[in-house]
A and B are shown apart, each in its own frame.
Chain A
Amino acid sequence: MATATDKKPATMAQALQRAMRDAMAEDPTVHVLGEDVGTLGGVFRVTDGLAKEFGEDRCTDTPLAEAGILGTAVGMAMYGLRPVVEMQFDAFAYPAFEQLISHVAKMRNRTRGAMAMPIVVRVPYGGGIGGVEHHSDSSEAYYMATPGLQVVTPATVEDAYGLLRAAIASDDPVVFLEPKRLYWSKSDWSPEAPAAVEPIGKAVVRRSGRSATLITYGPSVPVCMEAAEAAREEGWDLEVVDLRSLVPFDDETVCASVRRTGRAVVVHESAGFGGPGGEMAARITERCFHHLEAPVLRVAGFDIPYPPPMLEKHHLPGVDRVLDAVARLQWEAEH
């Protein structure tokens, strides 16, 4: 019998694989499809073993055509299946954009609820893995701007399992953004006793603090945790909120934290202009204005095409850039 003591180091990629495996075992309508997901197990091995265990009808290597993959998934969902689609890389998901925007996101609404789209679109996203051009985009803002989609991104091994199970169980479409540089991050985790399935739409306080709140998600969560540790030397006790779900957005958890600390910095890799942080800063300001000691600041990727790998370290928000932003939160007003 499995117990908590069976916990061994597991990677995020393994937890994601386990989530699909468990969902497929429980529900015969769950189908995985995408490029290289079958025999190879995906370029990141996230679907490793699924075709072998469930057969190629359940975990299918498709032709290399993203619109076709998502478009056929729509038809499969119309017939009652729950497709889990893998887009191989963030920037390779763009050919499927029309299917996502015009059909996946709108089908429930245009049919007055008669035909929901329980589809999960898994997208490895973000930089920091030394990828060449078109392999490191942070595309979440495009998806967030589309009503009808849910946008979810885990930052821990446990959440990777729980959130993907919740996404597959959801009757509405989920763009499931997997921070690819965290695929090999490890945690002591037992697949026999996985974390409870996390509901979509709930942020979590990763680290409690009193001085200011870092609001972040996905690949920037470990950066913010490290920054919070480093900030102790400066005398700042930072709180870190891991959003986990960008849509729906957990105003409650975010605002409760900001009302406690009075200061907030939003941190993400995605470009700042027109990016998620602008929406978040606006929402915080609208709801917590009288609790704020300083303007809500954003630490984001620059407003540039994603850089070549040898220059990406200058682009990605790192610990120093986060701490610089924290330093600009008008601390002098305290005295």
Chain B
Amino acid sequence: MTVQELPGAAAYRPTPPPAWRPRTDPAPLLPDPEPHRVLGTGAELDRALMLKLYAELVRGRRFNAQATALTKQGRLAVYPSSTGQEACEVAAALALEERDWLFPSYRDTLAAVARGLDPVQALTLLRGDWHTGYDPREHRIAPLCTPLATQLPHAVGLAHAARLKGDDVVALALVGDGGTSEGDFHEALNFAAVWQAPVVFLVQNNGFAISVPLAKQTAAPSLAHKAVGYGMPGRLVDGNDAPAVHQVLSEAVARARRGGGPTLIEAVTYRMEAHTNADDATRYRGSAEVDAWRDHDPIRILEGELTARGILDEDGIRAAAEAAETMAAALRDQMNADPVLDPMDLFAEVYAEKNGQLREQAAQLRAELEAEAR
């Protein structure tokens, strides 16, 4: 089956039309003039979804705190915290169907965990006992990606391949504000739009690329505006308003699934912690700015609205906190056990079969290990 025969294929255009003309009306692609919000607008709220979002946000905050604590105990090599960004992380996980794919960056461990990945497997990279601790195909979560924005073309290619096969699979790719300056961001968005691939790009604009603020990163009116140049719609959303992020993501995912092509979403949020435990944020930003964002904390604003509207009560808050503590205690216990390492694994999966020099080097290492053991 070719893509032209697929449902919704009219909009799917693997090759450009013969006579290209400039698009005369880019207005439908322009992002929201203000970040889209749900909380505080009086919009109708889906009770079950709200309680799920709340529970996952609380669990996510606790996960971030526990992972940061584990770096101090030497149980994690490094942890880039998503504290303050839990609304984006959780909404990304919940907006996807089981068959969809998530393409996380190194700061998105929480999105993978919220998607159901075992926390220890998710933290393998940052613990340092291997690079990827899970089978990406089993969980439909690509490896946590460290080289910035390089996972975005992967998401496009996977979504394109799924479409060619006739599967209604959507890929959601996560990237930060700094990542939007990378060439791979540009190339991925361009390929996605030309192929009308079922992919959604979520930019978590957390204000900083390590120390460099957004003003030094781009002169664009907003990161969402970049969508217009590629011919895809841009959306701007309050990244700390979990129901809003979930709504915008769900709409974009549904649009991609029905053959409507890619969407670029900018979620405006804030990285409450330093870049990683190894970074000192006081060198590049003041506490007043951080404090101002505390008032717009994703858990605080969701909890406030849900309690005011009678969706959440004291018991619900306590239950969420207790579930988070249980998760943290289990994670602590698991991470306090030393991982079992086999140095011979270094040679196991470089190729399907070891070549001559890998056989020699594996033999050398084995001999060294045997000598040590004596």
Contacts and interface: CB of A to CB of B under 8 A. Distances in A.
Interface of A: 31, 38, 55-57, 60-63, 65, 67-68, 70-81, 83, 95, 98-99, 102-103, 106-116, 147-148, 150, 171-172, 201, 247-249, 251-252
A55 B351 contact: no
A109 B188 contact: no
Interface of B: 2-3, 14-15, 130-132, 134-138, 142-143, 147, 150, 152-162, 164-165, 171, 183-184, 186-188, 190-191, 194, 345, 348-352, 355-357
Contact of B351 (A31, A74, A76, A150): A150
A82 to B, nearest CB: 11
Nearest to B346: A109
A57 B136 contact: no
B352 A76 contact: no
Contacts of A76: 157-158, 160-161
Which of A38, A65, A75, A249 has the largest number of chain B CB atoms within 10 A? A75
Which of B131, B137, B158, B194 has the largest number of chain A CB atoms within 10 A? B158
Contact of B348 (A73, A110, A113): A113
Contacts of A73: 157
Give 6 nearest A-B pairs by CB, closest first.
A75-B157, A71-B153, A68-B187, A72-B157, A110-B131, A248-B355
B190 to A, nearest CB: 5
A83 B356 CA distance: 27
B194 A63 contact: yes
B150 A99 contact: yes
Contact of A109 (B3, B131, B135, B147): B131
A196 B59 CA distance: 59
A75 B194 contact: no
A194 to B, nearest CB: 25
Contacts, number: 148
A57 B352 CA distance: 29
A114 B349 CA distance: 9
Contact of B136 (A61, A67, A78, A95): A78
B187 A111 contact: no
Given A63-B194, A68-B187, A79-B161, A57 B2 contact: yes
B305 to A, nearest CB: 38
Nearest to A250: B356
Contact of A68 (B3, B190, B345): B190
A71 B351 contact: no
A111 B190 CA distance: 28
Contact of A114 (B136, B153, B155): B136
B150 A172 contact: no
B356 A251 contact: yes
Contacts of B152: 71
B188 A68 contact: yes
B233 to A, nearest CB: 19
Contact of B356 (A38, A106, A110, A248): A248
A71 B188 contact: yes
B349 A75 contact: no
A61 B157 CA distance: 14
A255 B66 CA distance: 57
A72 B160 contact: yes
Which of A99, A148, A171, A201 has the largest number of chain B CB atoms within 10 A? A99
